[in-house]
Structure 1
Amino acid sequence: MPNHESTEKTIVQRLINKTGNPLEWRWADKVLIFIGLQVVAFGPLLLFFCLAIRFPEILANCLNPSALTYVLKINISFFLLFGIYALFAFLLRKRSPNSKWLAYSFAVIISVHTFIFMAGIGYATNPITFLSILSHAIIGLLLFDIYLSLLILCTWGLMFVIQISGELFGLLEYAPYLIEPPFMDGKIDNYWLILNMGEGIFTVLVMFILSAYTINRWHKREAQVIELSDLLKKMFGRYLSVEVMNSLIENPSALELGGGRRKVTIMMTDLRGFTALSERLEPERVVQMLNSYFEIMVDVVFKYNGTIIEIIGDALLVIFGAPQEMPDRARRAVACAIDMQNAMVKANQENRARGLPEIEMGIGLNEAEVIVGNIGSSKRSKYAVVGRGVNMAGRIESYAVGGQILISESVKQKAGEVIRIDGQKEVMPKGAEAPLTIYEVGGIAGHYNLALEGRDPAPAALALQIPLRYTVLEGKDVGRKGVEGFIIKLSKNSAEIICSGPVEILANLKMNLGDVDEKLSTRDFYGKAIRLSEANTQTYVVRFTSVPPEVDGYLQALRKHAVKPGER
């Protein structure tokens, strides 16, 4: 047997798909609906009165025959006015489809028209009167807005005041269309009953259909919102904080394909020496270490409402200021970076508990205008950020050593004087047309009031210099291999090294120990020349970026047992 419910639903759905949702039509089209309802409601009454004039025997005993001609003239005038409004509505469908003056003025016209008719048959005698008020107001609210609905109620109220005042002063007659009450000796006039029942059923039916349709649409939209919320949680739940998620749920249009220009603060983080570290560990241990690290860092990012754009290996790309607007995005990003560096203590505690090596992170921040939004196809897309500012954030981060936060001039200007600058450098990033000044952040005052903790202690002077060979990996001297040098001071994470020649600041070095057994001398360790030492122009402070456990154990043993007297 055919499924009639399914067929009926299909027909209704086809009609909606073809004509669109009436509640979402343009105002000019909705005015045409309102005109149609008014004509359908009063058309049969006018037809009945015309027939009553021609055939008086069908006229209800309570109605005044002499008033019928007057009623017809008034209603014909209003129907002509309805025709004029319909013509205007058709003309405005293309020129000004959402014209409010047309809808508001027509609301006044139909309110006056309905009240005149209801006052003629007695606003207190006929229960349809107040039902008509309610139906007009509800239809106005469903099709248009609350203001049009209030306008209908106010017009009715004004007409009531005029009618009652006129009756009190003897200027107007109550129910002039009636010559006697429709209720006599406990009986009701049959024609009166049919007239009111028909009008009442029609009014209630229209209200029911519109209300049922609207409520059904609301239920469907509520289901769509729930589905969209679930989709958002699946797509963005691991990358956005609860606050940003709520913002997207309230404004789903932000998820549409496409992007827009937005000023954001971009954060790029990276683990120092992780590539070499991952080559020494089993893959399962590497994944375990990364998962533990990201678990801590993501919580910190969400704490400051950052948006995680991407996790690339051991690196994080985070933005502040999209999709949710953030006037204090630069300060928030700086505070987040400081909190993340301080949280590395917890990450390394967990690593030690699992027998994993300690790790260090460098962070770079840049403030720039970028293109941000959903990029891809309708089948596969992702929330992404594109622009030179992203590349610049990566360049700035590449100059940072473990535990360091470097920011651009734009971040410094945006954050203001609340941040503590511990140093600055002028660098020439790849692809840049002019030198770039970057600043090292040590803390932030004000609302966040944070400072970097656990800074590397001052290096201790060694009793004996440690010979080494180094290779410059970046800068003008790139490719110089096996150059001799000596470690003269040593701390947990850095050293002062006498070099055989000049080395560019922030150049990366690959080093090997000298005067040690072959197994230890072949182990490479890496560092970055961060500044010249105060001792002389050939001595550089080198921050270690990747040190194998064997080399680290050897160096730390020297630091503890081979320092000059009084330097421990």
Structure 2
Amino acid sequence: MNFNPAASHEKATVLVVDDTPENIDVLRGVLKGDYKVKVAINGEQALKLCFSNSPPSLLLLDVMMPDMDGFEVCARLKADPKTEGIPVIFVTALHETCDELRGFDVGGVDFINKPVTPAIVLSRVQTHLKLRAAYTFIRQTFGRYLSEEIVDNLIDSPQGLELGGEKRELSIMMADLRGFTSIGERLPAETVVKMINIFLGRMTDVIQAHQGTIDEFIGDAILAIFGAPVERHDNALRAVRCAIDMQLAMQDVNRDFKLAGYPPVTMGIGINTGPVIVGNIGSQKRSKYGVVGRVVNTTSRIESYTVGGQVLIAQSTKDACGGSLKINGDMQVMPKGITEAMTIYDVGGILDENGLSLPEIAAEPLVELSVPISIQIAPLVGKHSSASFSGCISKLSLSSIEIDSDHICPPLSDLRVVLLNDDQTVISSSLYVKVLAQQSCKAGSYQAHVTSLPPEAELMFTTVLKQNPCL
């Protein structure tokens, strides 16, 4: 991305503030060929113009004025977030060092002494407008991914862009849309991109509100970190609170999807806490601020065990949150690359004074089918299907199914299910489910949560449920 501060669609506006008409005429004559010029003859007028809907790009501000001097005008501008970014150049007959120091203390960026030299005025104005444009560009670019506080930290630090990293205890979050692969297979590419942008835009707002740093967008997934670049003491609890807010914000996402005619989606979130290497990673030509380490990989594994609407956390995250969490349950898992079983926890909410809860998910009763539905089952390894085997659906609802098969699938594994007609023709090849538990009454029977229900499968399930009313 190339940036040219001079490439502006319209002239910048310079506000000249002076109580002497002769001085105003001189500055207007110097500026009018290159800039739009507005004039104020006192501090009150200047503030009114700056707080208007069309504020100036820069101020040339006299110091010695009646009622309110230039130092006070500048201080008021810098005290308000709406106007603190407007560069102020003092144009004054004051020549003492103490006056210049006071001007910088209240937020001025430069001093021009009277009588002015036209070339100096133009050069200083041009320089500070370029600096402001570059600063705005950097803030807008970083601000798409980082909170405002973190952007300030990176800009203010002279070492902010140096390559290198440090070991630090962080909380890592991975969020991913469940079953979105199936949705992407049956929708136009432009629709998929629009859906992802709506989702990522809303989630970015939530993450930034909790001082999280977005490390990466990975398709429909988000990797975020809590505790860097700004160190904090409550990384784990902020990450969990953020995750709950993200799940609640999915209501807004799905409302926007519905208005646009898109199908609804759900999201799973995993959180882990531990030591990672964090910093600017890459080469001198291309680098990014990010994290590496086993904790990051384990976070991805934890997220893979989620179903839609769920937040799963590691033991380390639970311990870091103390007794502040409502836990709905726990499970033992053996993620790939981990040598020992680990316990992960299903978060229901936060119990502190700012308590926050995930909505209770009412389980739909499974309806036993008089005639089971024939299926082909293919376990997923990552995003890819492995060898398939036969089975049938003996019970179902719109959110879960019970599968009977000679091939046993372990709990939390993901399956791609192909629905078959009586004549073995395919009804749907893009039903995705996650195995929840083995059914103790049947050796080859297990319950699975539906993570993606395509329209043709939903139509079939609805029809079958009407033919098999719940007793």
Q: Kindly state the Cα deviation for residue 523 of structure 1 after the two structures are TM-superposed.
A: 2.4
1:323 corresponding residue in structure 2: 229
Q: Kindly state the Cα deviation for residue 218 of structure 1 after the two structures are TM-superposed.
A: 7.1
- Superposition pairs for residues 547-558 of structure 1, below 5 Å? 547-558=453-464
1:437 aligns with 2:343: yes
Q: Kindly state the Cα deviation for residue 466 of structure 1 after the two structures are TM-superposed.
A: 2.8
Contact 2:182 2:430 in 1 (8 A): no
2:312 corresponding residue in structure 1: 406
1:541 corresponding residue in structure 2: 447
1:377 corresponding residue in structure 2: 283
Q: Report the Cα distance in structure 1 between the residues aligned to 2:128 and 2:340, rounded to whole angstroms.
A: 54
Counterpart of 1:408 in structure 2: which amino acid? A
Contact 1:467 1:514 in 2 (8 A): yes
1:252-277 deviation per Cα after TM superposition (whole angstroms, max 9, x unaligned): 53443322111110011111222221
Contact 1:409 1:438 in 2 (8 A): yes
Contact 1:292 1:347 in 2 (8 A): yes
Contact 1:470 1:512 in 2 (8 A): yes
2:438 corresponds to which of 532, 543, 553: 532
Contact 1:471 1:479 in 2 (8 A): no
SS in 2 for 1:416: coil
SS in 1 for 2:290: strand
- Superposition pairs for residues 122-137 of structure 1, below 5 Å? none
Q: Kindly state the Cα deviation for residue 390 of structure 1 after the two structures are TM-superposed.
A: 1.0
Q: Report the Cα distance in structure 1 between the residues aligned to 2:415 and 2:275, rounded to whole angstroms.
A: 34
SS in 2 for 1:433: coil
Q: Report the Cα distance in structure 1 between the residues aligned to 2:97 and 2:170, rounded to whole angstroms.
A: 50
1:4 corresponding residue in structure 2: none
User: TM-score, length-normalised on structure 2?
Assistant: 0.68
Q: Report the Cα distance in structure 2 between the residues aligned to 1:285 and 1:389, rounded to whole angstroms.
A: 34
2:220 corresponding residue in structure 1: 314
Cα-Cα RMSD: 3.2
2:391 corresponding residue in structure 1: 484
2:412 corresponding residue in structure 1: 506
Q: Kindly state the Cα deviation for residue 537 of structure 1 after the two structures are TM-superposed.
A: 4.5
Q: Report the Cα distance in structure 1 between the residues aligned to 2:109 and 2:198, rounded to whole angstroms.
A: 44
1:446-474 deviation per Cα after TM superposition (whole angstroms, max 9, x unaligned): 14412222625332323525323242425
Q: Kindly state the Cα deviation for residue 408 of structure 1 after the two structures are TM-superposed.
A: 1.0
Go from structure 1 to structure 2 and tell me whether the alpha carbon gap of 1:462 and 1:447 turns closer, same or farther (over 3 Å shift).
Answer: same
1:494 corresponds to which of 400, 407, 410: 400
2:259 corresponds to which of 336, 353, 367: 353
2:373 corresponding residue in structure 1: 467
Q: Kindly state the Cα deviation for residue 441 of structure 1 after the two structures are TM-superposed.
A: 1.3
Contact 1:460 1:559 in 2 (8 A): no
SS in 1 for 2:272: strand
Q: Report the Cα distance in structure 1 between the residues aligned to 2:155 and 2:336, rounded to whole angstroms.
A: 40
2:70 corresponding residue in structure 1: none
2:142 corresponding residue in structure 1: 236
Contact 1:459 1:495 in 2 (8 A): no
1:423 aligns with 2:325: no
1:390 corresponding residue in structure 2: 296
Q: Kindly state the Cα deviation for residue 376 of structure 1 after the two structures are TM-superposed.
A: 2.8
2:171 corresponding residue in structure 1: 265
Q: Kindly state the Cα deviation for residue 377 of structure 1 after the two structures are TM-superposed.
A: 3.4
User: TM-score, length-normalised on structure 1?
Assistant: 0.57
Q: Kindly state the Cα deviation for residue 228 of structure 1 after the two structures are TM-superposed.
A: 7.0
2:203 corresponding residue in structure 1: 297
Q: Kindly state the Cα deviation for residue 528 of structure 1 after the two structures are TM-superposed.
A: 1.1
Go from structure 1 to structure 2 and tell me whether the alpha carbon gap of 1:305 and 1:362 turns closer, same or farther (over 3 Å shift).
Answer: same
Q: Kindly state the Cα deviation for residue 242 of structure 1 after the two structures are TM-superposed.
A: 2.4
1:118-166 deviation per Cα after TM superposition (whole angstroms, max 9, x unaligned): xxxxxxxxxxxxxxxxxxxxxxxxxxxxxxxxxxxxxxxxxxxxxxxxx
SS in 1 for 2:323: helix
Q: Report the Cα distance in structure 2 between the residues aligned to 1:223 and 1:310, rounded to whole angstroms.
A: 32
Counterpart of 1:499 in structure 2: which amino acid? S
Go from structure 1 to structure 2 and tell me whether the alpha carbon gap of 1:522 and 1:446 turns closer, same or farther (over 3 Å shift).
Answer: closer
SS in 2 for 1:417: coil
Go from structure 1 to structure 2 and tell me whether the alpha carbon gap of 1:223 and 1:514 turns closer, same or farther (over 3 Å shift).
Answer: closer
Contact 1:457 1:492 in 2 (8 A): no
1:364 aligns with 2:270: yes
Counterpart of 1:531 in structure 2: which amino acid? A
2:194 corresponding residue in structure 1: 288
SS in 2 for 1:524: strand
1:20 corresponding residue in structure 2: none
Contact 1:260 1:372 in 2 (8 A): yes
SS in 1 for 2:322: helix
Contact 1:264 1:370 in 2 (8 A): yes
Q: Report the Cα distance in structure 2 between the residues aligned to 1:414 and 1:222, rounded to whole angstroms.
A: 46
Go from structure 1 to structure 2 and tell me whether the alpha carbon gap of 1:352 and 1:261 turns closer, same or farther (over 3 Å shift).
Answer: same
Q: Kindly state the Cα deviation for residue 207 of structure 1 after the two structures are TM-superposed.
A: 8.2
Structure 1 unaligned regions, length at least 5: 1-205
Q: Kindly state the Cα deviation for residue 225 of structure 1 after the two structures are TM-superposed.
A: 8.0
1:85-120 deviation per Cα after TM superposition (whole angstroms, max 9, x unaligned): xxxxxxxxxxxxxxxxxxxxxxxxxxxxxxxxxxxx
Contact 1:532 1:541 in 2 (8 A): yes
* Higher share in strand: 2
Q: Report the Cα distance in structure 2 between the residues aligned to 1:465 and 1:424, rounded to whole angstroms.
A: 35
- Superposition pairs for residues 91-106 of structure 1, below 5 Å? none
Q: Report the Cα distance in structure 1 between the residues aligned to 2:109 and 2:201, rounded to whole angstroms.
A: 39
Counterpart of 1:500 in structure 2: which amino acid? D
2:243 corresponding residue in structure 1: 337
Go from structure 1 to structure 2 and tell me whether the alpha carbon gap of 1:339 and 1:207 turns closer, same or farther (over 3 Å shift).
Answer: closer
Contact 2:196 2:220 in 1 (8 A): yes
Go from structure 1 to structure 2 and tell me whether the alpha carbon gap of 1:559 and 1:347 turns closer, same or farther (over 3 Å shift).
Answer: farther
Counterpart of 1:328 in structure 2: which amino acid? D
Q: Report the Cα distance in structure 1 between the residues aligned to 2:347 and 2:190, rounded to whole angstroms.
A: 35
Q: Report the Cα distance in structure 1 between the residues aligned to 2:327 and 2:333, rounded to whole angstroms.
A: 17
Q: Report the Cα distance in structure 2 between the residues aligned to 1:452 and 1:535, rounded to whole angstroms.
A: 32
1:192 corresponding residue in structure 2: none
Q: Report the Cα distance in structure 2 between the residues aligned to 1:304 and 1:404, rounded to whole angstroms.
A: 19
Counterpart of 1:347 in structure 2: which amino acid? V
- Considering only CA atoms, is the larger Rg found in Structure 1 or Structure 2? 1
Contact 1:520 1:551 in 2 (8 A): no
Identical aligned residues as a percent: 40
Question: How many corresponding residue pairs?
Answer: 356
* Higher share in helix: 1
1:52-83 deviation per Cα after TM superposition (whole angstroms, max 9, x unaligned): xxxxxxxxxxxxxxxxxxxxxxxxxxxxxxxx
Structure 2 unaligned regions, length at least 5: 1-94, 111-123
Q: Report the Cα distance in structure 2 between the residues aligned to 1:258 and 1:228, rounded to whole angstroms.
A: 25
SS in 2 for 1:393: helix
